[in-house]
Amino acid sequence: MTAAFVENGHAPGARAWDYLLRTWRELDVPEGWRAEIDEGRITLAPPPHARHNGIAEMVQRRLYGGLPASLGVYQTLGIHVAPLDKLYVPDLVVMPTELIAAADPGTIDPLNASEALLVVEITSKGNAREDRTKKYRAYARAGVPMYLLIDRFDTRGPMSTLFTEPNEDGTYKRTEAVPFGKPLAVPAPFDVSIPTDEFPGQAG
């Protein structure tokens, strides 16, 4: 992961977040890369490994099996964690379809993370720590009801962990972790079981 440092001094009188968001909108990001705003800077993440994308596709397909038409599963969708002035682009995010339809076609502004029902992050070597810590806390602070962390680099071995019931202090009350090979139950409104035995477990 690389970082593009953007200082608010370039825009006198403007809030740091407003300047960062304007810069984020105007970035010419290479295809497949993701630009996020975290800790007062814009970071660029390169395209993930094919195995990473394969896991995302498997999870997305399984989620759609239990999803009502009013919800959709989206990749490369920017979401704003308003309490912390962060902007992340999760591997998958479940949002009401009406919010997607209502989005201004003339802008690429992020949607509010508090509107998400589920966020999925799949670790890569370069971002595993951020997914386990900073993003965990951010999604909890935003009130995202479910955070699914698929961690191929967990020290216990590849694990899938579902965090539910967010607290305002940036933690989740409930945690269910299963090693790759065992099914992971995702509760309503999904009511599906994700067969993690199909996940590629090798690092990459």
Contact (CB, 8 A) for 168 and 182: no
pTM above 0.85, yes or no: yes
Q: Which residue has the tokens 């999904």?
A: 190
Q: What is the pLDDT along the chain (204 residues), one digit of tens a residue?
A: 444 444 444 444 458 899 999 999 999 999 889 999 998 999 999 998 888 999 999 999 999 988 988 999 999 899 999 999 999 999 999 999 999 888 877 677 899 999 999 999 999 988 899 999 999 999 999 999 999 999 999 999 999 999 999 999 999 999 999 999 999 999 999 999 999 998 875 544
Q: Is 155 exposed, middle or buried (0-12, 13-18, 19+ CB in 10 A)?
A: exposed
Strands (E), the chain: 2-4, 34-38, 41-45, 71-74, 79-81, 86-88, 92-96, 111-112, 118-122, 146-151, 159-166, 172-179, 183-186, 192-195
